[in-house]
Amino acid sequence: MGQTFSTVSVASQSQQIITRIGQLLTANGLTISCAESCTGGGLAFAFTSVAGSSNWFEQSFVTYSNTAKQTLLGVEASVLLNDGAVSQRCVEAMVQGIAKRTGANVGVSISGIAGPGGGSEAKPVGTVWFGFYLSDQIVTVKQIFDGDRDSVRSQAVAFALQYLHDWLVENYQEAL
């Protein structure tokens, strides 16, 4: 009476994007680390699904709780109290913290409300904030995704991959 586990896979299109991200990072001597909350390590899983990712992927922190965000990434308690974990200021602090903590040149942070509960009028279920760190520059982006918990989390990972890919191509395309 054993359990059946479904195999988690990263879609072929995502693998192509991740492979290209890896090529851009490797060609430019860059490494990447992640600070994830609502995606629970999904972005790290996606990155490490591609052979050769050990050449450019450093590590990922799953900082699901506010305490973890504070102790592992240095997010100030005032940010969490005043703006909340799902906010621009929080993902900025998260991505700064992961870059500083790991020494990576590139960082991605994700914090959101995957649902089914936890949303509000100001921050409905599906609200996800992203922080991207590249060469001391930080960009934040907010998205609101539709669907159930799994769908919001999958869309968040896919968005992070696509945005990172496009940002790296824009800044480093000539290096390849």
CATH of the domain at 101: 3.90.950.20
How many structural domains compose the chain? 1
Cis peptide upstream of residue 124 (ω within 30 degrees of 0): no
In a domain, 117, yes or no: yes
Is this structure's pTM higher than 0.85? Answer: yes
3-state secondary structure of 35: strand
In a domain, 6, yes or no: no
pLDDT in tens, the chain (176 residues): 555 544 456 677 789 999 999 999 999 999 999 999 999 999 999 999 999 999 999 999 999 999 999 999 999 999 999 999 999 999 999 999 999 999 999 999 999 999 999 999 999 999 999 999 998 899 999 999 999 999 999 999 999 999 999 999 998 865 54
Q: For the chain, where are the E strands, in sequence order?
A: 32-36, 57-62, 106-112, 127-134, 137-144
In a domain, 5, yes or no: no
Cα gap 62→150, rounded to integer Å: 17
In a domain, 3, yes or no: no
In a domain, 50, yes or no: yes
